[in-house]
Structure 1
Amino acid sequence: GQYVVGPLAVAVLPEAIATVAADAERLVRLVELSMLYEVPIEPSNWTLLRQTIGHEPPPVTALARQRLWGMFSSVGPLGLALRRLHELRLLERLLPAFAHARCLLQFNNFHKYTVDEHCLLSVAKATDLDADGGWLGDVWRQIRRRRRLVLLALLIHDLGKGYEGDHSEIGAEIAREVATSFGLPEDEIEIVEFLVLRHLLMAELAFRRNVDDDSLVLQFAREVGSPEVLRMLTVLTMADIAAVGPGVWNRWKADLLSELYQRTLRFLDPDANATGADRRRAELNQLLTGRDKQDPVIRLAAGLPRAYLRSQQPRQVVEELTRLAKLSAGNQFVTARWQAETATVSVTVGLRAPTVTGVFHRIAAGLASQRLEVLSADISTLDNEFLIDHFRVIDRDYAGQTPAERLAEIAPARRGQDASRASAFGTFGEDQHLSRPDR
């Protein structure tokens, strides 16, 4: 009841100005509303808020910091929203490491902006990919649930500048501190840390090295480790370069970056090409022929990410989507299959929930408790309320094929139920944040 959103602006009610100005969480909420509705903050409101905060900055709370982190997962012009928080000098209070970057000059022939301006602009360059119809836009859309990690890495990637030592190494330390302050799980902290530490690597290889050298590309693929991280680093590289100055990002650089991306992806995911995904989608559509258009399986199938289509056989996709569609809110199913061609166990966990706090961490812990070593993991969000997680693991308890009784131990099933709530992965119940967070 403190804000009013109109077609031209968002405003704070006159009687609430003092209350909002004294509360960091309410200020972040105001900026968030402006971002979500893509309207400016009413000018007189904005001027008054800046004057009030300039005299007496509000204390920063954990709630305000979490409100800020929630903005990284929202749809809208995040770069502009972060800039508004920076104008209020609130961003550097929420992220103390950012204070050092304010108006920090870069003494080289490339950068046209100060460090803070460059970082903010790089975030905007990444979110602009929402409307990009080219290969980079496709890469951006494939990142899906973890875009927020790329955006956070971009915001802080150059905060190590201005100190003695390698700015990437110092920045990686800052990245770990920032990601930890937001309460990210360890696997996501490591991704943000890696992206900041190696944010110059892909540009160095694409523009200065011979990407026809398979040994060089293979070494790069090993360092990146997964298609998902490769996609993140690719977007970060583009946004970083584009934010250096007008005209710095160009077609020549885009083509070279694309070549390195495609060559590396072949090592990380040999089947990663549009033709393969399109072929799988055609096979899937054939299997679904004759179903009613209102069938929830049809709806789920329409929004499948390419990575999911490439990694699963069409008949298995139909089976998994059917089981997902039958799940009630907060429920799950778990399956474990022996994969003879790779001598591994394929573990699938399906959940019906918009978000599950720490889901990757819990599943990984469950696998570890069963003495399983994770080789790869792929987590997909379908229709904004379903998660389907695929893990490829090695069972160290058996030298050869994992027997059926062991598979049943990994994913115990209850007769007549779609979801095994007593599996090694624990119960994902209503008390474990299965509902969409209220922002």
Structure 2
Amino acid sequence: MPLPKPRTIINRKALIARLDDLTVTNRDGGRPAGPQARAALLGELRTALAEGREEIRRRFLDEGCRGAEVCAANTYLMDQIIRVLHDYTVTHLFPRQNRTKGERLCVLALGGYGRGEMLPFSDVDLMFLLPFKATPYTEQVVETILYVLWDMGLKVGHSTRSVDECIKQARADMTIRTSLLEARYLLGERALFQEMTHRLYVRVIAGSGPEFLDSKMAERDQRHTRMGDSRYVLEPNIKEGKGGLRDLHTLFWIARYLYSVSDMNELIGLGVLTPRSARKFAKARAFLWSVRAHLHYLSGRAEERLTFDVQPRIAERMNYTDRPGARGVERFMRHYFLVARDVGNLTRILLSVLEAQQKRRPMLSVPSFILRRRDLEGFVLDGQRLAVPQPDTFANDPLAMLRIFLVAHEQSLDIHPDTLRLITDNLARVKGLRSDPEANALFMALLTHRKEPDTILRLMSEAGVVGRFIPEFERVTAQMQYDMYHVYTTDEHTIRAIGILHRIETGALSDQLPVATEVIHKVSSRRALYVAVLLHDIAKGRGGDHSELGAEVAQELCPRLGLTDEETETVAWLVLHHLAMSRIAFKRDVDDRKTIEDFAELVQSPERLLLLAVLTSADIMAVGPGIWNNWKGGLLRDLYRRTEEFLVGDMVPEPQDCRVGARKDQLRGALSDCPADRVEDYLGRGYPGYWLSFDTETQARHARLIFAAEDSGETPDAIVMVDAQVDPARGVTEILVYAPDHPGLFSKIAGGIALAGGSILNARIFTLANSMALDTFTVQTAEGGVLDSPSRLDRVKAVVTEAVRGGIDLRAELARKSRTLPARARAFPVPPRVIIHEVASKTHTVVEVNGRDRPGFLFAVTDALTGLNLQIASARVNTYGERVVDVFYLKDVFGMKVTHHGKLRELKRTLTLAAGVQALESEKGAAVARQHGRAARRRAEKADDAERAAE
């Protein structure tokens, strides 16, 4: 492309003149002095490079030029730098009046530099081409050029080869062949470049097109697998990821290899690309170039990953503004994912034409006698792939656009890329199918297919059919969810959830999801379940509660899909409440009967409980790798079992004293080898809540550990016993702490665990009759794995012991640790929020604290609760990407539920402040929280006095 005002980027003539002047100044005995001349050369080139880059940056950021112009300008700048450097080297540093034939030299640009895709921090790939082996003279010249470029701070990839070596290595190595394919002449002996190019095409490329094509496709597939094999990951690699620039490079390499073109538009005249496809290629490349340029400038390095922390800044720079229901960054990322989808479509189209023109045998080979037996319902086979008999098939029979997917899926055939292109060209006709009962029946058959429905739905979605058939799905196609919890776009998450639902049904996930696998075959409406999974996030991005809005969509859409009134009501209810089961399981104490009563009142029937359990499991597992774990599975399993018992009438409450007595009798049996009087003394220490919260095996372990601590010789007020028990079935570790109870003990333990690298999921707090605390913390690693390394367990026990004894300044240490919070986490401001659920429990005040996850968050919150003289009975901790949600069951200092509105207001204000002190960044911040806690405590005491006076 023509570059406007190139001399404002670099004035080569003026640069050469300055270098000539410096050469005269630095002459020594008629020749330029070596060190002085090199230093002067380096200084001038550095200045020219810096000034040129700044001018390009100014044009891009201030004048709004596009990424293509940035690439062209950086390429031009580097070309001039290298030409000046070469000319100065051969003219002044190593002058040679008459060079021999063996001293001829040609410099070529390779890679992105060869393609003209230079960005500020791109590598400079050079090849020094020689007629024969290197001579001392050419070695001096090449070495000087490279050393100066390195001293300028450039990352230079280089090779020095003769023409014969190029051809020999190109035959043996496909990577070298590809790099030579896009080599660009820079300077020197052009005849060498022409000779190398001619021999490359005649002796290497000719006749090897199918081999090159297969190699590049295999290379692409391996790269996609390595990068996650999805173009819809929320932090994509714009160069190497699926649908990124490297996919476009691959198409260009293939076109250049097979047709010797230098531009993709040349393929139009050859019948390989339509003008529309060529425009899509150019638009996709231009968009990705602009994004990559912004990414380089923002990162200050050759960064290719579009991370969360840079996405909003690039969106702002590219003028994506906020709109109702969609932030600017979400609109930008949606555009990115749609471009990535276009790149995938272009790949299919190009490969289809190449296959036809190159007469390549399709990769999938199916015996003809098998194909003859298949009923293709009017479609035909082209290269053993399903195709339409005529180009106007879809125009005459729009229903065939749905039917062909069903036939292909049932017959295990690929759809020919030309046919997929025809579908894309006829998408406008899909709108007329929405009210067609036969079309809706076909769609339901695809959605509920017994064989991997997600694979065919994904293909339909990428072809645009699902979005046109269900307009609400088009609104969430390529829609990102801007947080660190979700990994995929909304449409990709939905299709993955359908795939997981199918795998649950086939039993493939029985180890991870035993309950869902067991109950899915008990549901009465399989169709309703699949439709509910399809629609559970259908209303995201509309600016309201997506569950409520999605239920409205379900009420309208389900009858059209052929569902009965009963099925429609079920789907709408599931969409409305698809988050309810996970919220209750992860935030509420399922040992509290009120929790089970409330949830049972919501679901009302065993059928809905079954459906919701399966939907919840599929939804969570589809969020992304590592989101589902055995701990979450156990919580959902407990909630399901207890609610099931309640609904069928098996959860008949036995008198508490009978249940406690039975537990004590069981423990007596488990401790029969211990002195009877010691066992009876221990049985007298626990309150009913303790006996009903753990099984006999756990209680026996507690007792033996406590006996050992008491036999250690320590005085009761000095005992601090910390034990760790790994539970591989749930994927967690239980940290048990036995120590004298005192205000702030919970926060000290929580701070110690955080400091040692653990992440608390759950906590149960008990004070025994001897005033000793017996606290159990369920812990994982900060990364969500099992904390089972002996060294890490020893560290946790040591740090928690020291923290409980007061030997660690937890505020200072956690403040230091919090400063290491990664930039991607800081990109998500999470305002603190405190919710008091006054009716969630009959015996406790339930408080939910939301804030940005950071080391010591739980410590800060529990420290504030200590300042308010509140007792923590249990806690649930959940992390959703950058957001942490802690739920506490609280009582006041007298063991009563907090109900006074003044106290509740103070509680909410104090916890909001504690949650909002960003990562305890300073002692001042922590001091403010403590001071606020003391003030709140004084106000609460005054309120108590006023109440008593009023009474």
- 1:231 paired to 2:598: no
Q: Which residue of 1 aligns with 2:518?
A: 138
Aligned residues: 268
Deviations 1:102-122 (A, max 9, x none): 111112221111111111111
- 1:59 paired to 2:432: yes
Deviations 1:6-57 (A, max 9, x none): 9x976135x24531465442222221223334x2423435444345336876
Q: Which residue of 2 aligns with 1:114?
A: 489
* Aligned partner (choices 460, 463, 467) of residue 92 of structure 1: 467
Q: Give the match's secondary structure for 2:386.
A: strand
Deviation at 1:266, TM superposition (A): 0.7
Letter in 2 for 1:234: A
Letter in 2 for 1:118: H
Q: Which residue of 2 aligns with 1:347?
A: none
Q: Relative to structure 1, is the Cα distance of residues 121 and 46 closer, same or farther in structure 2, using a 3 angstrom cutoff?
A: farther
Q: Which residue of 1 aligns with 2:529?
A: 150
Deviation at 1:202, TM superposition (A): 0.4
Alignment of 1:76-91 (within 5 A): 76-91=451-466
Q: Which residue of 2 aligns with 1:49?
A: 422
Separation (CA, whole Å) in 2 of partners of 1:193 and 1:51:
31
- 1:126 paired to 2:501: yes
Deviation at 1:179, TM superposition (A): 0.9
Separation (CA, whole Å) in 2 of partners of 1:167 and 1:9:
44
Q: Which residue of 2 aligns with 1:245?
A: 624
Identify which range, 104-113 or 24-33, moves more after superposition.
24-33
Q: Which residue of 2 aligns with 1:213?
A: 592
Q: Which residue of 1 aligns with 2:477?
A: 102
| 2:493–2:622 CA contact under 8 A, matched in 1 | yes
Identical residues among aligned pairs (%): 33
Q: Which residue of 1 aligns with 2:177?
A: none
Alignment of 1:14-413 (within 5 A): 15-20=389-394, 23-37=397-411, 39-53=412-426, 59-60=432-433, 61-62=435-436, 63-129=438-504, 130-132=506-508, 133=510, 134-143=514-523, 145-270=524-649
| 2:394–2:426 CA contact under 8 A, matched in 1 | no
Q: Relative to structure 1, is the Cα distance of residues 209 and 271 closer, same or farther in structure 2, using a 3 angstrom cutoff?
A: closer
Q: Which residue of 2 aligns with 1:433?
A: none
| 1:176–1:189 CA contact under 8 A, matched in 2 | yes
Could you tell me the TM-score, scaled by structure 2's length?
0.27
Q: Which residue of 2 aligns with 1:341?
A: none
Q: Which residue of 2 aligns with 1:3?
A: 379
Deviation at 1:270, TM superposition (A): 4.4
Letter in 2 for 1:166: D
| 2:497–2:621 CA contact under 8 A, matched in 1 | yes
Q: Give the match's secondary structure for 1:187.
A: helix
Deviations 1:407-436 (A, max 9, x none): xxxxxxxxxxxxxxxxxxxxxxxxxxxxxx
Letter in 1 for 2:604: G
Q: Give the match's secondary structure for 1:216.
A: helix
Task: State the superposition RMSD in angstroms.
Answer: 2.6
Separation (CA, whole Å) in 1 of partners of 2:540 and 2:401:
29
| 1:2–1:16 CA contact under 8 A, matched in 2 | no
Separation (CA, whole Å) in 2 of partners of 1:109 and 1:22:
47
Deviation at 1:184, TM superposition (A): 2.1
Separation (CA, whole Å) in 1 of partners of 2:470 and 2:384:
27
The runs of at least 4 aligned residues of structure 1 exceeding 4 Å deviation read: 54-58
Q: Give the match's secondary structure for 2:525.
A: helix
Unaligned segments of structure 1, at least 5 residues: 273-439
Deviation at 1:188, TM superposition (A): 1.2
Separation (CA, whole Å) in 1 of partners of 2:390 and 2:617:
42
Deviation at 1:172, TM superposition (A): 0.9
| 2:537–2:546 CA contact under 8 A, matched in 1 | yes
Separation (CA, whole Å) in 2 of partners of 1:114 and 1:175:
21
Could you tell me the TM-score, scaled by structure 1's length?
0.56
| 1:224–1:230 CA contact under 8 A, matched in 2 | yes
Separation (CA, whole Å) in 2 of partners of 1:36 and 1:149:
22
Deviation at 1:131, TM superposition (A): 2.6
Q: Relative to structure 1, is the Cα distance of residues 56 and 176 closer, same or farther in structure 2, using a 3 angstrom cutoff?
A: closer
Deviations 1:250-300 (A, max 9, x none): 11111111111111111222479xxxxxxxxxxxxxxxxxxxxxxxxxxxx
Deviation at 1:247, TM superposition (A): 1.4
Separation (CA, whole Å) in 2 of partners of 1:208 and 1:230:
18
Letter in 2 for 1:36: E
Separation (CA, whole Å) in 1 of partners of 2:431 and 2:556:
22
Unaligned segments of structure 2, at least 5 residues: 1-376, 652-951
Q: Which residue of 2 aligns with 1:331?
A: none
Separation (CA, whole Å) in 2 of partners of 1:16 and 1:146:
40
Alignment of 1:406-421 (within 5 A): none
| 2:548–2:576 CA contact under 8 A, matched in 1 | yes
Separation (CA, whole Å) in 1 of partners of 2:537 and 2:441:
23
Deviation at 1:187, TM superposition (A): 1.5
Deviations 1:179-214 (A, max 9, x none): 122232221111100100001100001111111112
| 2:448–2:530 CA contact under 8 A, matched in 1 | no
Q: Relative to structure 1, is the Cα distance of residues 210 and 77 closer, same or farther in structure 2, using a 3 angstrom cutoff?
A: same
Letter in 2 for 1:208: K
Separation (CA, whole Å) in 2 of partners of 1:213 and 1:10:
59
Q: Relative to structure 1, is the Cα distance of residues 209 and 40 closer, same or farther in structure 2, using a 3 angstrom cutoff?
A: farther
Separation (CA, whole Å) in 2 of partners of 1:56 and 1:181:
18
Separation (CA, whole Å) in 2 of partners of 1:9 and 1:81:
18
Q: Give the match's secondary structure for 1:11.
A: strand
| 1:22–1:53 CA contact under 8 A, matched in 2 | no
Q: Give the match's secondary structure for 1:217.
A: helix
Letter in 1 for 2:410: L
| 1:79–1:120 CA contact under 8 A, matched in 2 | yes
Q: Give the match's secondary structure for 1:59.
A: helix
* Aligned partner (choices 8, 12, 17) of residue 387 of structure 2: 12
Deviations 1:355-378 (A, max 9, x none): xxxxxxxxxxxxxxxxxxxxxxxx
Separation (CA, whole Å) in 1 of partners of 2:381 and 2:445:
20
Deviations 1:199-241 (A, max 9, x none): 1100001111111112211221121121111111111101111
| 2:387–2:419 CA contact under 8 A, matched in 1 | no
Deviation at 1:173, TM superposition (A): 0.7
Deviation at 1:71, TM superposition (A): 3.0
Q: Which residue of 2 aligns with 1:406?
A: none
Q: Which residue of 1 aligns with 2:791?
A: none
